[in-house]
Amino acid sequence: MKAGLLKETEDEITTLLSDLIRINTTNPPGNETQAAKYLAETLGKEGFKCEILESAPGRGNVITRLKGTGEKPSLLLLSHLDVVAANPKEWSVDPFSGLVKDGFVWGRGAIDMKSMTAMEVMVMKLLKRNNVKLKGDVILAATADEEKGGEYGAGWLVRNYLEKVRADYVINEGGGQAVPMDGKNVFTIQTAEKGILWFKVKAKGRPGHGSVPSAADNAILRMNRVVERLGNYRAPMVLTPTVKQFLAVMAEENAEAKQALNILLQNPNRGDEILDMLAQKDKAMAEQFRAMLRMTIAPTIIYGGVKENIIPSECEAVFDCRILPGQNTDEALDHIKMLLRDVDLEKLEFEIIQANEPSESPLDTPLYGLMVETLKEFEPNCTVAPILLTGGTDSRFFRKLGAACYGFQPALSDLPYDEILKMVHGIDERISIKNLVFGTSVLYNVVKHFLT
């Protein structure tokens, strides 16, 4: 039976999102306190007691809680209030107008992720309005600074106010979008994300005159070998539980790719061969899969040299390395040094810029099962697949604490998928009012059934 859409929330959720978009929380600088205050006010009108916790002036995080009896686990509804910059010249509407036009709410944050904030706030209000008898606590936290790493937001809350945000389960961004495939909707749930190892390598040499190159030891040439070696490295492919399940669903739902993906699932060593083949049909998809299957290393910055005729004694490069769940940043760095063992390791210096460990949550929890079940109530013919993000979200702070975290921002596909991808951190970001109602309805049903 099809579960009912909460059509009556349409105006309220639209206004909530529109208002949130109008509060410019571009990070940097963030200024999330204004948005936090707005949420505290709207929730306050319905009797919620909210706390605004500032990690720095203007960097507000807002938290509130509905108490349960304690018979069931606790659940945190997480979102971030900050957004990335938007250049009004590139947009067809003012990115901070929150304009409602053609059935869509337009503006920076409409997808990433003020819409989810609005939905989570709406869910809290509905639980209270409907006087739902909760057996587990539900906590709402809308935080600062996710787009710059969360050190003033989720990371700061976990370090300083753990008891206020700790929960057994977390629902956050990173999945939930339906992708149409062979006439069916495939919804994703983010269950894993890669870890980050940003590091700098300094190659040393001996300076000299550019007119007698062989008398010097050119640091640029040394770095050239480092870049070549790391940039072209293809780490072994590993099937993490999430990606294994994800590819199995893709194989089932995508007739064209079925055979190829089944070979890959049987034998990940043949991954590159299979993905090279898939790339001829759908390059974007194949490369996305490739990044989900291995550690990657990309050189992203390089500098060295000061003058046309001086052979430099130093050259520096920065690398963006992403590792899979099950791997860790220490071992990754050791592995990288091993790859460079014949590039005069003693003339290379390494510096870690940032290291975040990868994270993965189990697929066999009651909450995961309930999310799948609820989606099928709304869309009986849909399929659901777990997904690993090659990027990162604030979920990592909570997975580290042992919470099961799921990226679940339920949305039907009413725009082409590649267009949605382009809108996130891109131009003309918008969400349909239909999807605001759909997302709220799915989330409300999930939370209500999970906690009663």
Which positions lie near Zn ion, rule CB under 5 A? 112-113, 173
Q: How far is the CB of 79 from Zn ion (least distance, A)?
A: 8
Q: Of 172 and 327, which has the nearer Cβ to Zn ion?
A: 172
Assigned token pair, 23: 């509060």
Q: Please, what is the angle between helix 32-44 and helix 10-22, to 10°? A: 150
Asked if residues 430 and 104 have their Cβ atoms less than 8 Å apart, the reply is: yes
Residue the block writes with tokens 């034998």: 267
Q: How far is the CB of 112 from Zn ion (least distance, A)?
A: 4
Please state, in angstroms and rounded to a whole number, the distance separating the CA atoms of residues 202 and 220: 10
DSSP character for 177?
A: B
Asked if residues 33 and 97 have their Cβ atoms less than 8 Å apart, the reply is: no
Q: Of 137 and 173, which has the nearer Cβ to Zn ion?
A: 173
If residue 375 lies in a helix (H) or strand (E), which one and from where to where?
helix 366-378
Question: Closest residue (Cβ) to Zn ion?
Answer: 112
Assigned token pair, 214: 């062989």
Distances (CA, A) of 54 to 46, 50, 63, 80, 151: 23, 13, 11, 14, 12
Q: Of 27 and 42, which has the nearer Cβ to Zn ion?
A: 27
Q: Of 146 and 253, which has the nearer Cβ to Zn ion?
A: 146
Q: How far is the CB of 451 from Zn ion (least distance, A)?
A: 25
Q: Of 314 and 429, which has the nearer Cβ to Zn ion?
A: 429
Backbone phi, then psi, for 232, in 5-degree steps?
A: -100, 0
Q: Of 64 and 115, which has the nearer Cβ to Zn ion?
A: 115
A 10 A CB-CB count for 363 gives 18
Please state, in angstroms and rounded to a whole number, the distance separating the CA atoms of residues 32 and 147: 12
Q: Of 113 and 317, which has the nearer Cβ to Zn ion?
A: 113
Q: How far is the CB of 258 from Zn ion (least distance, A)?
A: 32
Q: How far is the CB of 431 from Zn ion (least distance, A)?
A: 13
Angle at 326 between CA 325 and CA 330, to 5 degrees: 100
Please state, in angstroms and rounded to a whole number, the distance separating the CA atoms of residues 437 and 433: 6
A 10 A CB-CB count for 283 gives 11
Residue the block writes with tokens 């989570």: 120
Q: How far is the CB of 84 from Zn ion (least distance, A)?
A: 9
Q: Of 84 and 302, which has the nearer Cβ to Zn ion?
A: 84
Q: How far is the CB of 146 from Zn ion (least distance, A)?
A: 5
Q: How far is the CB of 213 from Zn ion (least distance, A)?
A: 48
Asked if residues 136 and 73 have their Cβ atoms less than 8 Å apart, the reply is: yes
